Amino acid sequence: MVFHRFKERLRSFRDDERGSMLVEGVLALPMMFWVLITFYVFWDAYRSINVVQKATYSIADVISRRRAAVDDPYLNGMNTVMDYLLDPGQSAEMRFSSITWNGIDDRYEVEWSYSPGGKMAELRTADAANLTSQLPIMADGDTIVVVESRVDFAPAFNLGVLGDRTIEQFIVTRPRLVARVCHADVPCGILNGGTASGGSGT
């Protein structure tokens, strides 16, 4: 008997279509706002990744078209241009490197590497062995320009779904107008003891 009454009450509750729009709105609106803000946070993150990627590609393309040797002030200027292309309040840590393939020793070798402000460690030939999955297959003596960037990203709203992170880009470009992009402080095409060397010559 009790079970029968309980079933009747459940059936009555199920079939009751009366409701209050105000109450339903109070219950639903917070969840709707949370979903909308979450979508915005993810959209903003992907937009920032796209901006950093395009800006890094642009810098790499400019350097790949360079005929004259680059120097530290020029590369510092490229970092400044990169910061200008980013969102307000963002800045990039960058590293510029020239890498060649040594067919005799069967390895990648760093001709020169420089990071404005020393924010990233200069790339060395020993480090290039760890980048083989990111570097292209090259003929003996070919060179490439590698431009790396790191940009910190903080979401506009911290909802626990996406925290602070660093956006990293690794762009490889072949010199377009010359055989190699040289650094003014490094003899062009000559490795400095098999290690990277920036403007300090060390």
Q: Pseudo-torsion of CA 58, 151, 199, 81, nearest 10°?
A: 40
Q: How confident is the model at residue 200 (pLDDT cuts 50, 70, 90)?
A: very low
Residue 109 lies in a domain: yes
Q: What is the pLDDT of residues 30-70, one digit of tens each?
A: 778 778 888 888 888 899 999 999 999 999 999 999 999 99
Percent share of the chain, pLDDT over 70:
82
Per-residue pLDDT, averaged over 127-143, amounts to 90
How many structural domains comprise the chain? 1
- Establish if 78 belongs to a structural domain: yes
Using a pLDDT cut of 90, give the percent of the chain over it: 46
Q: What is the mean pLDDT of residues 109-117?
A: 93
pLDDT of residue 161: 65
Phi, psi of 42 (to 5 degrees): -65, -40
Residue 194 pLDDT exceeds 80: no
Mark 95-128 as b/e (b = at least 16 C-beta within 10 Å): bbbbbbbeeeeeebbbbbbbbbeeebebbbbebb
- Domain coverage including residue 146: 22-173
Residue 157 lies in a domain: yes
What integer is the mean pLDDT of 173-196?
Answer: 75
Of 196 and 81, which is predicted with more confidence? 81
By the 8 A CB rule, do 138 and 130 touch? no
Sheet holding 165-173, edge to edge: 107-114, 92-102, 143-153, 165-173
Helices (H), the chain: 2-15, 21-64, 72-85, 125-128
**Residue 71 is assigned to a structural domain of this protein:** yes
- Is position 2 within any domain? no
pLDDT value for 2: 64
Among 136-150, 159-173, 174-188, the range with the most confident prediction by mean pLDDT is 136-150
For residue 24, pLDDT over 70 is answered with no
Whether 16 is covered by a domain: the verdict is no
Top-ranked range on mean pLDDT: pick from 16-25, 139-148, 157-166, 181-190: 139-148
Q: Decide: residue 59, CB within 10 A, 0-12 exposed, 13-18 middle, 19+ buried.
A: buried
Structure tokens at 185: 């402080």
In-domain check, residue 165: yes
Q: Is a pLDDT exceeding 80 seen at residue 191?
A: no
Query: pLDDT higher for 53 or 27?
Result: 53
Residue 41 β-bridge partners: none
